[in-house]
Amino acid sequence: MFGLDQEIASLASTRPIVALAVALLLGLRHPLDPDHLAAVGAMAQGSRRRSGVIGLFWGAGHATTAIALGVPVILWGAVMPAGIHQGVEAFIGVVILALGARLLVRHGSGELHRHPHATPRRLREAYGVGVVHGAGGSAAVGLLILAAIPSHGIALAGLLVFSVSAAVAMAVVAAGLGRGLSAVPSGATGVIVCAFGLWYLAAAAVGAPYPF
């Protein structure tokens, strides 16, 4: 998705309204990253409302990390060391793999049918997964684009717009994703998520800055 982000970034301008519009577009596109879809797809199994709430909590976690990392990037030009970033990407692969494996276990035990609602524990999990994703993937590209805005005030406002719009967009995406996946056997979804997690982990381990 980097190509699309770069196309959006090419619209950037020093004019505040344009800069904020670019941040909005980046945020609305951000949930479509494959690793985000894989993670949320493993958690959003059920009604549109339940899945949408899970997506919103994922987005809240993602926004927490994006803002925590984005402020130093914008104000002081801080950059995450390459080694740490690679470790974060590898950990994201582990998380996705664990979500897929857990989905397979739940499918085998029938737990998905006994707990059809978005329980507080599931919402905390979605928030935590979002926190992890906020430190990796194409979020770094979005932060660097915002950091290039000359005015710190506008850049910080853009960071907020990016974070909030990504959270809202993920809620919408998750609602549709959960509803669509409800027609797919959860075991099959678990196998796909596990395979993607393994691939993502392997790609990150060999040094791909963002394995997609």
Judge contact between 204 and 197, C-beta under 8 A: no
Amino acid, res. 166: A
The residue written with tokens 């393994």 in the block is 198
Amino acid, res. 144: L
Is 83 within the bounds of a domain? yes
Kindly tell me the number of DSSP H helices and DSSP E strands found in the chain.
10, 0
Is 212 within the bounds of a domain? no
* Range with the poorest average pLDDT among 39-43, 79-83, 152-156, 200-204: 79-83
What is the spatial distance between Cα 38 and Cα 73, in angstroms, rounded to a whole number?
28
| Cα dist from 130 to 60, 78, 110, 144, whole Å | 7, 22, 26, 20
Q: What is the pLDDT of residue 10?
A: 62
Mean per-residue pLDDT, 158-166: 94
pLDDT tens-place string over residues 71-116: 998 898 878 888 888 899 999 999 999 999 988 888 666 665 545 5
Mean per-residue pLDDT, 135-161: 84
Domain that holds residue 188: 2-205
Domain count, the chain: 1
Q: What is the pLDDT of residue 13?
A: 60
pLDDT tens-place string over residues 13-52: 667 888 888 889 989 999 999 999 999 999 887 778 889 9
What is the spatial distance between Cα 212 and Cα 170, in angstroms, rounded to a whole number?
19
Q: What is the pLDDT of residue 207?
A: 75
Is 55 within the bounds of a domain? yes
Q: What is the pLDDT of residue 64?
A: 96
Q: What is the pLDDT of residue 112?
A: 58
Is 211 within the bounds of a domain? no
Report residue 209's pLDDT band, with 50, 70 and 90 as the boundaries. low
